[in-house]
Structures are given as C-alpha cells and as structure tokens.
Amino acid sequence: MKIESHFEKIERFDALRKRLDHFEDFEIWFWTTMNAGTNAVNAALHATGITEEGPWYPQQPGVYMVADHEPGTFVPAFKPLGDVLHVGRPKIEKPIPEKVQRIADLMDVIEEWRDPCVRDGEPVTQEIVDTVDAAYREAVALAREVAAEAAGS
C-alpha cells in the first residue's frame, strides 16, 4: 500500500476504536488497535525507504495481490518487500532506524496481550487497556513523525 493509504486506514480504525467499549468489546478493540498499529509500522517502513510502497497488498510474506488486466481483479505476485503482515513477518534484513524500531517495539508490547486476552480468555484489566492504548498512540504518533520527516527531506 501507499503511505497515505496506511494513514487513511489508521483514521478509519481510530473512528471504530472510539465507538467500542474497551472491556465489553475488547477483542474487536484489540484487533483494530493491532491492525492500525501494523499500518503505522508499514507507513514508517515505506517513509524510510526500507520497504516499497505501491498499489499491491500482502497476502503472505513475499506474495502480494496486484491488479490484473481486468479492472477490479487481482492476482498473486512475488514482489520485493512491501507491507509486512506483523512485526517480524517477514523479517526485515536491512538496518532499522531508531524511531522505526521503537514503533516495532511498541507493537510487540501490544501483541504481548493478544494470546492471553483474545485467545486464552485472561480477564482484561484497566492496566492492560492502558498499556495497549499508550503503546498504540505512541506508535501512531511516531509513524506520523517519521513520515513527516521523510517528506521534508
């Protein structure tokens, strides 16, 4: 995807997150948070030139959906590293700038709660919600900062 498209997705996820109850709707609130955060990672990776932005969408590591000859249709294709699906999937072999690494580390903080709370049913506490939300907000803010810095250079 393109940098601007990642930030548009983040805005849509944020609008949904604001309508959800952090406790009653934790699972969907968490998934929107994680997906929006992954878009922040991808925007920062594209802005720093570590990954390529473009009109293709990840299907699995190394395989992207690209526009076919028929309008509105897509086919799988191998492409250079574009969007990542999760931090570390696929692994990035290039040096990562400090701010982008910080975003990745914040995503690890968020994803630490996926299995216990979403998959294993651990009770959600205010501390977990606050930790996830703070990591998310910092990750998005840093991604915007990285993109602005790259656009200014």
Based on the number of CB atoms within 10 Å of its own CB, is 148 exposed (0-12), middle (13-18) or buried (19 or more)? exposed
- Distance (Å, rounded) from C-alpha 79 to C-alpha 107? 24
Judge whether residue 88 has pLDDT over 80: no
pLDDT digits (tens, 9 = 90+) for 26-83: 999 999 999 999 999 999 999 999 998 888 888 887 788 889 999 989 999 888 778 8
- Distance (Å, rounded) from C-alpha 21 to C-alpha 75? 38
pLDDT digits (tens, 9 = 90+) for 96-144: 999 999 999 999 999 999 888 888 888 999 999 999 999 999 999 999 9
pTM as predicted: 0.89
Q: In this predicted structure, what is the pLDDT of residue 91?
A: 82
Q: In the numeric block, which tokens belong to residue 113?
A: 């709660």
Q: What is the DSSP code (8-state) at residue 117?
A: I
Residue partners of 81: CB distance under 8 A and separation at least 6:
50, 51, 52, 62, 90, 92
